[in-house]
Amino acid sequence: MLAYTIRRIIILVPVLWAVATITFILMHAVPGGPLTPEKDRPPALQEALERRYGLDQPLWRQYTTYLTNLLQGDLGITFKGDREVTDVIRDKFFVTAQVGILGFVLAISVGMTLGTLSALNHNGPLDYIGVFFATAAASVPNFILGAFLTIILAVNLGWLDIVGWGGPNTWSELFDPAAYDWRKMLLPVIAISVLPASFFARVTRASVLEVLNQDYIRTARAKGLAERKVVWGHTIKNALIPVLTLTGPIFAVMISGSFIVETMFFIPGLGAESIKAIVARDYGMIMGTTLFFAFVVAIANLAVDLLYAVADPRIRYS
């Protein structure tokens, strides 16, 4: 398993290199650059700016410089405010991760509860409600749900706030209850969790149904085991494994969700920042965020695969 893990990590290197190269090419194919002036700018000033950010070098040299620096963990600086890209990613991802983790927890608890209830109540009214929810939640875009919740809960009822993020902005505030403002946290977390929750609900339902039809469950029932024990002891545990495989793709879905949800609720996270970076042609940030997201998804998928092996003894990686 260790060898497998190491091999997976080694494979990651060429993938990230390819992501970096493709992003670099696409980014430079976009017309205009981070220094394209909005007003006419004296040529000397323009040249000075380009020199300062190394944009006066030929493209291939910018590319090799970038890769060399990348190997040393240096992602360069942003054009917006001359900050280290690594610092910006660290600060912004701290917020994105909070939204993501809270949303994930909400999604998995709501989704699995609904899915299990649906399956145990197969073809009953609870099942129909569950399936309908799962389908509807997969169909109503998060920004539309967010818009409706905003009108009702924030604008009309005034219960919740909508601008900014209510969680801590720095690590040091993480354990400070005063740094949390749930009125600002609820709407984005709900908005980002709805789609993943619907996936969890569907897969849990299918998985529990399948387990319930397995021979060993029939055996357990036949030998007179209490239904509660059958359900909790045998069914749920075994049904969990397919759900686990879902968490990797869900990660990707949630990162996609973060772009829209963060933009809409003005959350200072990495998703909103990376969209701003593309619009502003902030080369350093475009490269940094794309690589970072690719890396996060790859690591998440690896972690899920390893967990999968731990959970299901039949699976062996070599």
Partner 1 sequence: MSTRSKWFLLPMAALTAGLIFAAACGGDDDDEGGDTTPGATSEATSGSGGGQAPADQQKIRIAQPEPQFLDPQKSNFEQDIGLERFLFRGLYNLTDDGEGGVEVVAMMADGEPVVTTEGETAVYTVKIRADAEWSDGVPVTAANFVYGLTRACDPDIASPYQYLLGAGLGDLVGCDALAQNTDPAQADALKAALGAKAIDDKTLELTLAKEIPTFKTIFALWTTFPARQDVIEEHADAWTLPENIVTNGPFTLSEFAVGDHLTLVPNASFVGTAPVLQEIYVQFVDDLSAAFRAFQNDEELQMTEVLATDVAVAESSGLSDNVLVVPSARITTIEAQMTDPVLSNFGVRLAISQVIDRQALVDSVFDGVHAPAYYWVVEGLVGHQGNEAFEGVIGYAPDKAAQTLADAGFPDGEGIPTLRWTARDNEQKRNEFAFVQAALAEIGIEIEAEFVDAATRSTMFNAEDFQLFPGGWQLDYPDIENPLVGLFNTDGGNNKYNCSDPDVDAAFEAAFTATSEEARIAAYQEVEKNIVEKLCGIIPLYQDARPFVVSTSIGGVVANGTIDAGLPGNYAPENWFVKAD
Partner 2 sequence: MATTLPADYLAVGDVAETKYRGLWSDAWRRLIRNRLSVIGAVVLTGILLLAFVGAFVGPTARYTAQEIDTSADQRQTGPSAEHWFGTDQLGRDIFARVLEGIRVSIEIGLGTATLVLLIGVVVGSAAAFGGKMSDNLVMRFTDVMFSFPDILLILLIREILINREIPILSNDRVLIIFAISLTAWTTIARLVRGQMLSLSERDYVLAARALGASSTSVVYKHMLPNTLGPVIVAVTFAIPAAIFAEAALSFIGLGIPPPAVSLGELVKTGYVVIQRNAWAVVFPAAAISILMLCFTFIGDGLRDALDPRTR
Interface residues with partner 2 (CB under 8 A) are 14-16, 18-19, 22-23, 26-27, 29-31, 131, 135-136, 138-144, 147-148, 150-151, 155, 199, 202-203, 205-206, 209-210, 213, 246, 249, 252-253, 255-256, 259-260, 263-264, 274-275, 278-279, 286, 289-290, 293-294, 297-298
For residue 308, the tally of other CB atoms under 10 A from its CB is 17
Taking the C-alpha atoms of residue 246 and residue 196, their distance in angstroms, rounded to an integer, is 10
User: Please, which residues have CB within 8 angstroms of residue 292's CB and are 6 or more apart in sequence?
Assistant: 89, 93, 270
- For position 169 contacting partner 1 by CB under 8 A, the verdict is yes
Q: How far is the CB of 271 from partner 2 (least distance, A)?
A: 8
Q: How far is the CB of 265 from partner 1 (least distance, A)?
A: 8
Q: Which does residue 5 bind out of partner 1, partner 2, none, counting CB within 5 to 8 angstroms by kind?
A: none
Q: How far is the CB of 45 from partner 2 (least distance, A)?
A: 25
Site for partner 1 in 260-299 (CB under 8 A): 266, 268-269, 273, 279, 281
Positive or negative, the CA dihedral 290, 296, 299, 305 is negative
Q: How far is the CB of 316 from partner 2 (least distance, A)?
A: 22
Q: Which does residue 51 bind out of partner 2, partner 1, none, counting CB within 5 to 8 angstroms by kind?
A: partner 1
Of 155 and 310, nearer to partner 2 (C-beta) is 155
Of 102 and 195, nearer to partner 2 (C-beta) is 195
- For position 91 contacting partner 1 by CB under 8 A, the verdict is yes
Residue from 15, 26, 45, 147 in contact with partner 1 (CB under 8 A): 45
**Backbone phi, psi, residue 217, to 5°:** -70, -45
Q: How many residues does the chain have?
A: 318
Residue from 41, 122, 218, 229 in contact with partner 1 (CB under 8 A): 41
Of 230 and 267, nearer to partner 1 (C-beta) is 267
Q: Which does residue 101 bind out of partner 1, partner 2, none, counting CB within 5 to 8 angstroms by kind?
A: none
213 vs 120, 216, 230, 285, CA distance in Å?
Answer: 12, 9, 12, 51
Q: How far is the CB of 117 from partner 2 (least distance, A)?
A: 15
Q: Which does residue 268 bind out of partner 1, partner 2, none, counting CB within 5 to 8 angstroms by kind?
A: partner 1
- For position 152 contacting partner 1 by CB under 8 A, the verdict is no
